[in-house]
Structure 1
Amino acid sequence: MKSFRLLLAVGACFSPLVSAVDTLVDVGYAKYQGSVIDSRLKVSAWKGVQYAAPPTGNLRFAAPQDPIVTGTINATRHGATCPPSRPDDWTISGPNDRFTIAEDCLYLSVYAPTGARVDSKLPVVVFFQGGGFASQSSANWDPTDIVADGQVVFVQFSYRVGVYGFLNGAAVKAGGGDVNAGLRDQIKLLEWVNKHITQFGGNPDNVVLDGVSAGGSSVALMIAADTGKKPLFAGGIMESGGWVTMRPADQGEEQYQCLLKDKDCAGASDGLACLRALNESAIRSSNCWFNPNIDGDLYTDSLVNLFAQGKYAKVPTVMGSCSEEGTKYNAPETLDNPIDALTWVVTDKDNSLSNNSKSILNDLYMKPTQPTFPGKGRYWRHAAVAIADIGTHCITRNIQNYLARDGVPTYNYKYAVLDPSDEAVGYGAWHTVNAYAFWGVNRTDGGEPPSYFTTNAPIIKTVRAYWTSFIRNLDPNTDRANKAVEWTPYAGKDSRERLFIQTNNTKMERMSPAQALRCDVVRPMSDHLGRPPAKGVVTELDGKLAAKVKSASESTDLSGGKKHGRDFVGYY
């Protein structure tokens, strides 16, 4: 950290012919007047920067086009955030002082050290929002502390999701649309960064992607995208990502027809024109679902399959998940018996399982003891453990197995910080809670656990140092916090190294042999989350493999350990 700040100071003394980054920045098509937003931390920001034309009218569903704004623009307020796919989404449930929703939403913001110069070549991090590809859940978070601590340039942006970003159908393509318009937005953003970030003091050759949840999956999707060009980034951080349902053309067509019917456009002479004529809110639907698609262009297969085929950019990565990925926001807290819990896992996630496979799943996840909590169903945690494995832990492991196979540097983590209030109600370290350890308190959405202001405050310094070290060096160890443990790279399916992150207890461990076996057993389900099976397919889980779980060790110690039986209490 100190060396980077010294470098900036030295540059200021010995480069008089190179101007410092001004708050008025010219990006060619327009000039953006930003401001110093924190004089104490010395951070400047440019907000509401248009990186693509408004995707409205005939550009609804189309690939992003070049910006259309000109002149000098006040860049002290954020642009709009892209609208959600469903009419009941929380982002439109009422006024929000953090963001506004509008279809004209292809805007970004840039944060940089105030002392940066146009030749500083500072590392750049591009943040991808989460929201399940149906909403934008991380709009306008404040990265001031990250920028100041890490001396990095930070870019965040909004991209189309749901029906606006992933409408798939033959008519969409024929009508000038792009079935992965939302992912095209992400690529357009990265092209903008590559072209303009130098003007803000950033280095276009040192861009690292970072995302949480669907944002984490987006990072993996960018790594796997076949753009036919050199990658626009040097590395990626995938936080609690991996699960992204990608439909082939026939399944996408089903959802397109669903929307036509849902919006009374099925009888129109031009169904696509009918959908484009609807206003921004009228097109939202709770009956049809839209995700990134297997389009035969950017993506010829599902995400994990592309990594299996070696079809991805070979860049260093950090990937990991939170210990209780399936609790908060995921498994219904009312599940009170094993039948209902198993039904939720199977019906909602993979209805192709045979009866024998359902029995195997029941043995693996419904029979082992789990803790219970006041006001919660007795089998809520059983379902939560199952979906955490199937949807996140195992998918991340599967991707990293291929990275290790190909000799690509990758680091895994398990985030297990204990917050007393979350522990008391059974949430544990829930899906995406680790984001608060990177961003810090009072900088995001106000959802940080109370202990992050007190007893767990030290974890912020530890995690942020690992993350910013990776952003600067593509290695989380180079600038890690003082006395922090060295983070060993993930070496493959047999060793399964990971950094266990917990306040005053961060250490290296591994995914246990038993969990690795469970991941192997449920692999067909994990794959089906990535690419839904065709109608009529019956999925058989491997019973012989499942039988081995009983004798497998639950130890996460790197040197192995004794078998702990089938009581999974406290395992996740």
Structure 2
Amino acid sequence: MKLWTCVLLLCAAAVCVTCEQPSDEDWLELDTPQGPVRGRRDPDADHLYSFYNIPYATTPVGENRYKAPLPAPVWETPFDAVDKRVLCPQTIIQDALPKDFVEQEDCLIANVYVPDTRRKNLSVLVYVHGGGFVIGYGNFFKFKHFLKTKDIVLVTFNYRLGVNGFLCLGTEDAPGNAGMKDQVALLRWVQKNIASYGGNPDDVTIAGYSAGSASVELLMLSKSAEGLFHRVIPESGGALAVFSIQRDPLDIAKTFAKLLNFTNVDDNNALEEFYKTAPLELLNSYLLTERYDSTFLFSPCIERETTKDAFLTESPLSILQRGDYRKLPVLVGLADMEGLLRIHYFDDWKHKMNEKFSDFLPADLTFKSEEEKDEVANKIKKFYFGNKPVGNDNILSYVDYFSDVFFTTSILWAVKLYAEAGHKQVYLYEYSYVDEDIPTVPHTNVRGADHVAQTHAVMDGLNLFNQNESLASAGRLVMKKKVRQLWHNFIKTGKPVPEGSSLPAWPAVGANLSPYMSLGQELELKHEPLQETRFNFWLDIYQKYYLDPIPPPASSAQSRHEL
């Protein structure tokens, strides 16, 4: 079983609990624009009422499955908002799922965590789950300890994934970005409904990890989401990441169809009909998480400008370069060893990287010839590994390479562009805290903070699989408290360290990628540019070889109609 699948399944198993039947006094009924909703006092956190499984939109199904979400249902009798363990269709091993999890097409549900307080107009945190845009669900992580301050309402939610969420053919029935349009629909639902749950629709922060991090940055760049939120926390991912945008969505649709043994891919009408009629079990039968090119195939795309209600019609890079977006407060950062995400493939991939390193170049590079591609590949390999083959003695360089191609370069590039566009409310950090119980990198005595380690610091428990926070070391508990305070400060004030705080002062970052906050054994403001040498190396590569994403082409019928 591959890593991402294991993570998802084990986490799902970890949160399965047997709930006792709640008594009448454990229920809280609220009047909402959808109708009356009943939640219950959380059995694991008596400072919260939990409202699960609230439909924030209706999912188009069948042959309409790739269209934008439909309006949410309404009701007259009380809706019992209990956890139905609903997942959107995705690539998982069915028999390994807990028996009470349910995959279904109509999966667009929100979960709202409401503090047990009489105060109203509380700050709202909307959290977008990660999983490479191909796996995951809203309650993948838990944040109940973070909510003990009783001054934040939390919303988590599902959105369509993989081919279901991100098939992008540019047609009326498959325009693209269904999963991102789900996220916009959720934010509109928050604007309309969250006051009923005690939240302030004029005080909304969106946050996310990994693909969720890329999502919240894309939401900030999208005109369709403008005005729906007020602060942004991207954690280990960004809009410029290679896995965040399809370079050529029609080509990707053809590639994936071939993997499913559909061969008539050059007939666009037949290709669309295949995707509209193929069983969900077939469309979600192929694992997409182990590709060499640092993509998962399906992700957000550039839609055709003529598409109705488009989410994104321009490259994120172009938007950032022009500074054409609302410059909201942003708390952005990364872990110091993001590339540990790929450590489980090392024993296999080290040989393949030595055989043909160019296979492992990120998919957002383009070359005039195979000779030029090999030349650049050799240059990159030498930068990381010198004249040595990829092997056990330079595994840390392997980690650095995948840190940079997956996350670090794209995050820092966006930060640089923010500052150059006059965005003066961006706060940059690097998370490097590790405990003695964190395993060392194989073949070394070195420990590092893994992908989204900072999210683990904010969430409940020790890690994905152990929710018992009382087992944490004193050092880890102190670090969790500090990171939670930084995130809380930002949600409440737009600054991670407001004036008068006992924490080290934290100014906004400049175009030279400094200053930034180091979140290690201590909090330390650093003034040298973050990852300067590696970032400048990749910036030079991308300035020469960047492959800008394109929308799907118009069909002949569409072209005639547009004329």
Q: TM-score range by the shorter chain?
A: 0.7 to 0.9
Q: Does 1:520 align with 2:539?
A: no
Q: State the SS of the aligned residue for 2:279.
A: coil
The residue type paired with residue 88 of structure 2 is C
**Which amino acid is 2:201 matched to?**
P
Match in the other structure for 1:247: 246
Q: 1:40 to 1:280 in 2, by over 3 A?
A: closer
Aligned to 1:403: 418
Whether the 8 Å contact between 1:308 and 1:399 is mirrored in structure 2 is no
Taking a change above 3 Å as real, the CA distance of residues 423 and 531 of structure 1, as seen in their structure-2 partners, is farther
Looking at structure 2, the residues matched to 473 and 522 of structure 1 have their Cα atoms a distance apart, in angstroms, of 34
Q: Hey, what does 1:319 align to over in structure 2?
A: 332
Matched position secondary structure for 1:389: helix
Alignment of structure 1 residues 406-485 onto 2, 5 Å? 406-426=422-442, 428-441=448-461, 444-446=464-466, 452-478=472-498, 483-485=502-504
Partner of 2:164: 164
1:291 corresponds in structure 2 to 299
- Provide the C-alpha distance between the structure 2 equivalents of 1:467 and 1:135, rounded to a whole number of angstroms: 26
Q: Distance in 2 between matches of 1:448 and 1:364?
A: 42
Q: Provide closer, same or farther for how the CA distance between residues 210 and 445 of structure 1 changes in structure 2, counting only shifts above 3 A.
A: farther
- The residue that corresponds to 1:498 in the other structure is 516
Equivalent-residue separation in structure 1 for 2:437 and 2:36 (angstroms): 47
Partner of 1:258: 255
Cα distance change on mapping 1:308 and 1:450 into 2, 3 Å: farther
- State the Cα distance separating 1:344 from its structure 2 match: 5.5
Name the CA shift for 1:498/1:59 in 2 (closer, same or farther; >3 Å). Answer: same
Q: CA 1:436 to 1:39, structure 2 compared with 1: closer, same or farther past 3 Å?
A: closer
Q: Distance in 2 between matches of 1:187 and 1:446?
A: 32
| Aligned-partner residue type, residue 233 of structure 2 | I
Find 2:234's aligned residue among 219, 232, 238. 238
Contact 2:358–2:374 (8 Å) recurs in 1: no
Aligned length: 494
* C-alpha distance 287-39 of structure 1, shift in aligned 2 (>3 A): closer
User: Secondary structure of the equivalent of 1:332?
Assistant: helix
- Provide the residue aligned with 1:551 in structure 2: none
Q: Superposed, which structure 2 residues align to 1:113-262 within 5 Å? A: 113-117=115-119, 120-136=120-136, 139-149=139-149, 151-170=151-170, 173-174=171-172, 176-227=173-224, 230-242=226-238, 243=241, 244-247=243-246, 251-261=248-258, 262=260
* Residues 23 and 33 in structure 1, CA contact (< 8 A), matched pair in contact too: yes
Paired position in structure 2 for 1:308: 321
In structure 1, C-alpha distance between the alignment counterparts of 2:152 and 2:406, rounded to whole Å: 32
Worse-matched range after superposition: 269-278 or 215-224 = 269-278
Give, as a single letter, the amino acid of the residue that structure 1 aligns with 2:323: G
Matched, 1:47 2:60: no
TM-score using structure 2 length: 0.79
- Structure 1 unaligned blocks of 5 or more: 1-20, 535-572
**Measured at CA, do residues 292 and 285 of structure 1 come closer, stay the same or move farther in structure 2, by a change above 3 Å?**
farther
- Secondary structure, in 3 states, of the residue corresponding to 1:220? helix
Amino acid at match of 2:312: Y
CA distance in 2, matches of 1:368, 1:484: 44
User: Aligned-pair distance for 1:379?
Assistant: 3.8
Shift of residue 299, structure 1, vs aligned partner: 2.1
- Deviation, structure 1 residue 454: 4.3
- Deviation per CA, 1:488-517: give whole Å up to 9, x if none: 221222x521110113x211114547x324
Q: CA deviation at 1:305?
A: 3.1
Instruction: Describe the superposition over 1:127-174 as per-residue Cα deviations: whole angstroms up to 9, x where unpaired.
Output: 00000111116634332212223620000001011100111114xx23
Q: SS of the counterpart of 1:312?
A: coil
Letter in 2 for 1:384: V
Letter in 2 for 1:107: I
**Gaps spanning 5+ residues in structure 2: where?**
1-25, 289-296, 552-563
Output the amino acid matched with 1:332: Y
Which stretch shifts more, 68-77 or 392-401? 68-77
How many Å separate the matches in 2 of 1:529 and 1:31?
51
Give distance in 2, aligned partners of 1:533 and 1:519: 25
CA distance in 2, matches of 1:365, 1:469: 38
Give 2:103's aligned residue.
101
Residue identity over aligned pairs, in percent, reads 22
- 1:10-25 matches, cutoff 5 A: 23-25=28-30
Counterpart CA distance in 2 for 1:265 and 1:336 is: 33
Deviation at 1:230, TM superposition (A): 4.0
Deviations 1:520-571 (A, max 9, x none): 221265687884699xxxxxxxxxxxxxxxxxxxxxxxxxxxxxxxxxxxxx
Deviates more, 1:39-48 or 1:385-394: 39-48
Preserved contact between residue 366 and residue 547 of structure 2 (Cα < 8 Å): no
> What is the rounded CA distance, in whole Å, between the counterparts of 2:517 and 2:211 in structure 1?
22
CA contact (8 A) 2:462 2:469 kept: no
Taking the aligned partners of 2:52 and 2:151, their CA distance within structure 1 comes to: 19
For residue 472 of structure 1, give the secondary structure of its aligned residue in structure 2: helix
The equivalences for 1:334-349 within 5 A come to: 334=347, 335-336=349-350, 339=354, 342-343=357-358, 345-346=360-361
Normalising by structure 1, we get a TM-score of 0.77
Query: Is 2:302–2:549's contact at 8 Å kept on the other side of the alignment?
Result: no
Give the secondary-structure state (helix, strand or coil) at the position aligned to 1:218: helix
Residue 365 (str. 1) matches residue 362 (str. 2): no
Q: Distance in 1 between matches of 2:540 and 2:470?
A: 39
Whichever residue aligns with residue 359 of structure 1, its letter is N
Is it true that 1:378 corresponds to 2:393 in the alignment? yes
431-440 or 301-310: bigger deviation: 301-310
Amino acid at match of 1:209: I
Which residue of the partner structure matches residue 560 of structure 2?
none
Segments of 4+ moved more than 6 angstroms: 447-451, 527-530
How much does 1:215 deviate? 0.4
Match of 1:82 among 85, 88, 91: 88
C-alpha separation in 1, matches of 2:298 and 2:45:
44
Structure 1 SS opposite 2:103: coil
Task: Please tell me whether the aligned partners of residues 60 and 67 of structure 2 are also in contact (alpha carbons under 8 angstroms).
Answer: yes
Q: Is the 8 A contact 1:336 1:379 kept in 2?
A: no
Q: Counterparts of 1:368 and 1:429 in 2: how far apart (Å)?
A: 28
- Which amino acid is the alignment partner of residue 210 of structure 2? S
| Cα distance between partner residues in 2 of 1:53 and 1:304 | 32
Task: State the match for 1:508 in structure 2.
Answer: 525
User: SS of 1:282's equivalent?
Assistant: helix
State whether residues 79 and 105 of structure 1, in contact with CA within 8 Å, keep that contact through their aligned partners in structure 2: no
Contact in 1 for aligned 2:342/2:399 (Cα 8 Å):
no
Pick closer, same or farther for the CA change 1:40–1:139 going to 2, 3 Å.
closer
Distance in 1, matches of 2:393 and 2:358, equals 15
Contact 2:337 2:450 in 1 (8 A): yes
CA contact (8 A) 1:327 1:384 kept: yes
How far apart are the structure 1 equivalents of 2:341 and 2:469? 13
Q: CA deviation at 1:312?
A: 2.0
| DSSP-derived class of the 2:345 partner | coil
Deviation of 1:116 (Å):
3.7
User: How far is the alpha carbon of 1:233 from its aligned partner?
Assistant: 0.4
Q: Is the 8 A contact 2:518 2:526 kept in 1?
A: yes
Residue 10 of structure 2: aligned partner: none
**What is the CA–CA distance in structure 1 between the aligned matches of 2:105 and 2:542, rounded to whole Å?**
33
2:78 to 72, 77, 80: 72
Residue 16 of structure 1: aligned partner:
none
Q: Does 1:28 find its partner at 2:33?
A: yes
Q: Which residue identity does 1:148 align to in structure 2?
A: K
Q: CA deviation at 1:241?
A: 0.6
CA distance 1:453–1:80, change in 2 (3 Å)? farther
Distance of 1:331 and 1:279 partners within structure 2: 32
